[in-house]
Copies of this chain bind each other. A is one copy, B any other.
Amino acid sequence: MNLTDSIKRTTLHEELVERLRNLVVEDVLKPGEKVPEKQLCDSLGVSRTPLREALKVLASEGFVVLQANRGARVSSVTREELENTFPVLATLEQLAGELACQRMNSAETQQIESRHKDMLNAYDSRDRQAYFKANQDIHQALIRGSRNDILESHHTLLAARVRRARFMANLSGERWAQAIDEHETMMELLRARDADGLGKSMKLHMMNKLSALVKALEAEDESLS
């Protein structure tokens, strides 16, 4: 009898944290928007108590902002915040790359190779959706490969915070090609188990993402003015 995968006993508030965070990350709840408790309660079929508990957690994670007696608003990711978040993400990825190089087993690296191929295919057919998914899986796998829970949890949180922005700003053809190049480099360094090299290239990759993102946002601003 296998009892290792124990009974999934989740509480309402845990469920709600997940659901609400997804609503924010997937841009269903828009930045700056009020989050009226009553309405959410009705549409989710729960009472205010677990919902409010969830909102407190979301607030501590930075997805919403709470103002006393004035409820919750979905926090908007400003450019300044992007420019603060990416360097942190970049150093975390650097560390993860270094550790993953040392710690991943061959099954894990092969999994990444496979997703890398998927990503290349998605690029060839210009399938943005599939590309983003494969790309995300690769980064996630490298983080996971670092075998460092703390690193992983903080990375996951920060990545979620900026995911929306990354989806919004469609990458240019030029940047997309560059990103593919960078991924090729990363794979080579991983195959060579060059921990330092992989770390550095992951950091650079992330900082380049930021540059491209800021450029895209600026272009967007100009088209509006």
Which residues of A are interface residues toward B (Cβ below 8 A)? 9-11, 13, 17, 49, 52-54, 56-57, 59-62, 66, 68-69, 81, 84-85, 87-88, 91-92, 94-95, 99, 148-151, 153-154, 158
Question: How many copies of this chain?
Answer: 2
Most buried by B among A17, A84, A149: A84
Whether the pair A56, B13 counts as a contact (CB closer than 8 A) is yes
A84 touches B11 (CB 8 A): no
Given contacts A56-B53, A56-B56, contact A88 B95 (CB under 8 A): yes
Instruction: For the complex, give the distance between the alpha carbons of A92 and B11 in Å.
Output: 34
CB closest chain-B residue, reference A199: B91
13 contacts between A and B (CB under 8 A): A9-B69, A11-B66, A17-B60, A56-B56, A56-B57, A81-B149, A84-B149, A84-B150, A87-B95, A88-B95, A91-B92, A91-B95, A154-B158
Q: Which residue of B lies closest to A95 (CB)?
A: B91
